[in-house]
Amino acid sequence: MFRGIALNADESVIDGDQEALARHLERAAAVGFDGVELSVGCFNIIRGGQVVERELERARALLARYPLRYTLHGPLSLSLVRDAELAAQVLESCLQMAAGLGAEVLVYHSGQIALHDAARGLAHLPDDQSLSDLWQRETEALARFARRAEELGVLLAVENRDPHLWEVAALARWGRPAGELVRYHQGMRLDLLSAQMEAVGSPFVGMCLDVGHAFLAAPYWQDPDYLAAVKRAAPQVRHLHLHDNWGRLDDIAESMRERLVFGQADTHMPAGWGRIPLREVLAALAAAGYSGWVVNEVAPRYAAYYEEALANVRSILPGP
């Protein structure tokens, strides 16, 4: 049984403005959403890796004004395998923030991407041992934070990632084909994230399935069968980001508006606007016993279509 249908709050629009956030929450409640997924950047609560209690209390009072439940998305730059000491400090503060706001889930983007330094010419492509160490370091860190998440009563959800043209370009500069992308960007692989969740072995750490990221990543998998991969990963999925796209990598579009025009990249459109088989995804999750949130993670440019987005999701949810 799905927990409810939520709407994301885009931090690039809110940008710490609590009046703007209040307007967004009011709209979400009026449209009929059950909850809102907030982003850390919607607030000024964490400064230099530390929680500011006064700001946390201010935000808690704001959220309490609305008949909504909440989840929280961590910073996109947070990675437990890059600058591990600072990352651990920030993740601890994010968990504290989630608990303080009454957020049930904290979303963390997988750190299993090893192309940043190679793309900048600062390092060679990592070898197999380095990639294995990357996976092991993050997995051990997640196991440690599982205990902290349990103490705070927050689910830590690890989100799968999507491919980008800059990564393909980085591989080309090192003489490697685009087909090797999943070797160096393992966060794109649902099977590896599933294995990571199994290795962590905690009910307080699970996968956040981003259906759009996976649809873009599928052509690079060894087995590009999107629905088959989703079905295999479904037992590990504890949180869900739902939006639509056309499954094409960006090679022309450089902005969200041009992504829409050309049908490229991570467009974050309302369900039903693109080509992702969302009804089948939801059915696969339901069959695996999924009981988490369905978060409409749609871009701010589609705010005029919130009612349609909600109706579209309701129309494809499996029956009881």
The one-letter code for the residue type at 15 is: D
Q: What is the pLDDT of residue 24?
A: 98
CA 61 – CA 65 distance, rounded (Å) = 7
Cβ(298)–Cβ(8) under 8 Å? Answer: yes
> What's the pLDDT tens digit per position in 34-92?
999 999 999 999 999 999 999 999 999 999 999 999 999 999 999 999 888 999 999 99
At how many degrees (to 10) do helices 278-287 and 226-233 cross?
Answer: 30
User: 32: number of CA atoms within 13 Å, CB side?
Assistant: 10
* All residues at 6 or more sequence positions from 2 whose CB lies less than 8 Å from its CB, including other chains: 286, 290, 291, 292, 293, 294, 317
Task: Calculate the average pLDDT of the chain.
Answer: 96
> What's the pLDDT tens digit per position in 132-170?
999 999 999 999 999 999 999 999 999 999 999 999 999
Q: What is the pLDDT of residue 84?
A: 86
> What's the pLDDT tens digit per position in 105-129?
999 999 999 999 999 989 999 999 9
How many domains, the chain?
1
The CATH number linked to 128 is 3.20.20.150
CA 218 – CA 31 distance, rounded (Å) = 33
Res. 254: pLDDT tops 80: no
Mean pLDDT of 286-300: 98
Environment class of residue 203 by beta-carbon count within 10 Å: exposed (0-12), middle (13-18) or buried (19+)? exposed
Mean pLDDT of 304-318: 98
Q: What is the pLDDT of residue 210?
A: 99
Mean pLDDT of 232-261: 93
Res. 252: pLDDT tops 90: no
If pLDDT is split at 50, 70 and 90, which confidence band does 319 have? confident
Domain that holds residue 137: 4-316
First to last CA, the chain: 7
> What's the pLDDT tens digit per position in 165-209?
999 999 999 999 999 999 999 999 999 999 999 999 999 999 999
Mean pLDDT of 277-288: 98
Q: What is the pLDDT of residue 188?
A: 98
Per the listing, tokens 């080309």 go with: 172
Q: What is the pLDDT of residue 19?
A: 98
